[in-house]
Structure 1
Amino acid sequence: MANGNQHPIRILHVVGGMNRGGIETWLMHVLRHIDRDRFQMDFLVHTDKPCAYDDEIRALGSRIIPCLQPSKPWLYARNFQRILHEYGLYDIVHSHVHHFSGYILLLANQAGVSIRIAHSHLDSSSLEAKAIWKRSLYLAVMKRWINLYATTGLACSRKATSLFGLPWEKDPRWQLLYCGIDLKAFQTVLDPMSVRAEFGIPEDAFVIGHVGRFEQQKNHHFLLEIITEVVKRESNIRLLLVGDGSLHPDIEQKVLQMGLTDYVIFAGSRHDVPRLMRGAMNVFLFPSLFEGLGLVLIEAQAAGLPCILSDVIPEEVDVIKPLMHRLSISQPASIWAEVILKSKNNQLKITPTETLKLVDESVLNIQASTKKLENIYLLESSKLVNK
């Protein structure tokens, strides 16, 4: 068994693909900050297409290993076993693919991997409640396998522990690991006017920002309803949408239909989110239907932005309470619009320097997050050595 005094502990992270998203961005933060002499992180992905972080991952000495056909269990199992045979047995398999982690950890157990981690980055309880019977059966089996084959379960918030069942606190395997952000990008000097000029945003425009994948969870349709209400009350505004995803064409079409073309800017997937938050945005809007934690909200707070968010988002993300305003998604778009415009006229009693300091001192910075993860890996490895 690997330990810090011999060869590095070898960890295989299982993700869909290393494109920009909350889970993937956090994993990149971890890869940059973890002691790479003691921990060798590789990434098993469910795609053979190039992803945004692939080049940097390889530059940092880690591998991208495609394992295809997750929708065909027997074929996927053969691919998985072949990979473990080809690359050598890993000390740890750390799975980030939510319910499907049950199958991953079953396969890892069959292959003889001693440490098997299921990591929940999402509170999917509302989706589970609406699932049809076939889906419900699949979810029940996966959760059963997670319970059987996970040696450790990590969740990014108390709500995200829904993957492990209740009462999760009574099982010592299940624990919280808050994802953290790297604050370096929030400490650089920048010129807001040049950031705005890049997108053709007027200097005096009030900019509402949103960062998130174009998927149902992020509630873009409601977001556009809110902007329609804002425009009725204030015309000198812009909505800056950062991200990409399967619903992108649908949302672009909706913007056209709603007559919002002059107000909505599609920035695409970006590597410089902190720069856009600090240089272009005045307020951050996040009406998600559900979240595991909401990593971009931590970034928005680090940038000193007032945040208007749905009340289903875990409260652990509220580092700077004066910046956070929670609303129910059952409230009409007009109420959301009024709260947004109220933030426009409110003078914040806290400076960006102070907000950055508070985030840095919280458990939601990358140093604290990475250190805790290292300790979990070391503790689980030491248990096996001492057996």
Structure 2
Amino acid sequence: MNRGGIETWLMHILRHIDRDRFQMDFLVHTNQLCAYDQEIRTLGSQIIPCPLNRLQPWNYAANFRRILQVYGPYDIIHSHVHHFSGYILRLAHNSGIPIRIAHSHNNTSWVEAKAKWHRRLYLDLMKAWIARYATLGFGCSRQAIVDLFGSTGNTHLHQQILYCGIDLASFRDSVDLVTVRSELGIPKDAFVIGHVGRFEPQKNHAFLLEIAAEVAKREPKMHLLLVGVGSLRSDIEKKIAQLGLSDRVIFAGSRSDVPRLMQGAMDVFVLPSLYEGLGLVLVEAQAAGLPCIFSDVIPEEADVVKPLVKRISLSQSASAWAEAVLTVPNNASILTRIDALNIVEKSAFNIETSIKKLLEVYEINFSKC
């Protein structure tokens, strides 16, 4: 598995659960070696490739059934692939899996509203199959629940919010700002805007760069730190050059030390996403004590440390966003980093709380089988 919000949460669970009681295996849609694969195997779990060609779903079905026969039997199939969960849980139902969970981690209603007719047919079919074949529905926020299961819900499908927790241990580590910034080639006195996210349309990097350009006009020490990888990397590089920011933007790639970068390199965290199921990286940024500026389409549950968060409409100009970013240094003394960390620790986003609820649901549903 590659690093991402869902994948990182699943790794937190795998590291913390009682692995003598629970065996977690991971079916992935790639044959490539990914960032978390070796650790998953070291912890006693399987990484099982099941490549997906959406033009040949029958091949996927045959591979899926074979995997269940070879690696099973399984008591639970817990699917995290949004609409495609409908197909997966239909296959799981036909293979006799008793507990079948559809887990919504996104709110794609903004995209769905613009979908063409054939895409709409697919979405309607997948939602119908989820309603029919899932025995339980999870969502990472209220918006995520509505997006996949509907505002009125399904009469037989029990749905509930399960907040994805984060492991706070790394946020308690002592971090030296000078060392971290030196490693990244960032001056120690720079004003650093941070962003963590895949280079994909959802994350709205083009607008983020426009914000950074506006900040740079007023703050000559501005640097932008981008953590992540994705298909839009070359497009982002071109826009950086067009805006004259080539010496101000740092590409950090896929990182295993995001908490360290947040605490040691960033002054403010900016997330102008077009849509999110929750935006777990925002909770991480708040745990690091970072002021957070983000789009108002993000679910309200992301406002964990309220003095640190500011929502702005995507209809506002890059200049307006830049103004919000530049006021951050004057407001950063509202509470300490330790205070922010303690607030997150007491919230539903603590990994211990998240795991406890997940395992309770697993055990309750298993006892009914």
TM-score by length of 1: 0.93
- Secondary structure at the counterpart of residue 270 of structure 1: coil
Q: Any stretches of 5+ residues in structure 2 without a counterpart? A: none
Would you say 1:267 and 2:255 are equivalent positions?
Answer: no
SS at match of 2:32: coil
2:81 alignment counterpart: 97
1:4 maps to none
Aligned counterparts of 1:337 and 1:241: Cα–Cα separation in 2: 17
Question: Residues 116 and 169 of structure 1: is their aligned pair in 2 closer, same or farther, counting only changes over 3 Å?
Answer: closer
Q: Give the corresponding residue for 2:120.
A: 136
Matching of residue 291 in structure 1 with residue 276 in structure 2: yes
Structure 1 runs of 4+ aligned residues shifted over 3 Å read 169-172
CA–CA distance in 1 between the matches of 2:332 and 2:215?
19
1:146-191 CA distance string (max 9 Å, x none): 0000000100000001100121386651111000000000111121
Stretches of structure 1 that go unaligned for 5 or more consecutive residues are 1-17
Q: Measure, in 1, the Cα distance between the counterparts of 2:322 and 2:218.
A: 8
Report what 2:311 is aligned to.
326
**Secondary structure of the residue that 2:210 maps to in structure 1?**
helix
1:362 maps to 347
Give the counterpart of 1:29 among 4, 9, 12: 12
**Does residue 83 of structure 1 match 2:81?**
no
The alignment of Structure 1 onto Structure 2 pairs a total of residues equal to 367
**Scaled by the length of structure 2, what TM-score is found?**
0.98
Q: Secondary structure at the match of 1:249?
A: helix
Q: Does 1:220 align with 2:205?
A: yes
- In the alignment, the residues of structure 2 paired with residue 97 and residue 305 of structure 1 have an alpha-carbon distance, to the nearest angstrom, of 30
Identity rate, percent? 65
Deviations 1:43-100 (A, max 9, x none): 0011000010000000000000011234111110000011111112210000000000
* Aligned residue type for 1:286: L
Q: Paired residue for 1:180?
A: 165
Q: Per the alignment, in what secondary structure is the counterpart of residue 297 of structure 1?
A: helix
Q: How does 1:33-112 map to 2 (within 5 A)?
A: 33-71=16-54, 72-112=56-96
RMSD over equivalenced CA pairs, Å: 1.0
SS at match of 2:165: coil
What's 1:121 paired with?
105
Amino acid aligned to 2:142: R
Over 3 Å counting, the alpha-carbon distance change for 1:172 and 1:48 in structure 2 is: closer
Give the Å deviation of 1:322: 0.6
> Which amino acid letter does the alignment assign opposite residue 75 of structure 1?
N
> Do the aligned partners of 2:131 and 2:154 also contact (CA within 8 Å) in 1?
no
Match of 1:243 among 214, 225, 228: 228
Which whole-Å CA distance do the structure 2 matches of 1:190 and 1:77 have between them? 48
Judge conservation of contact 2:296–2:311 (CA < 8 Å) in 1: yes
Q: CA deviation at 1:35?
A: 1.4
Contact 2:279 2:298 in 1 (8 A): yes
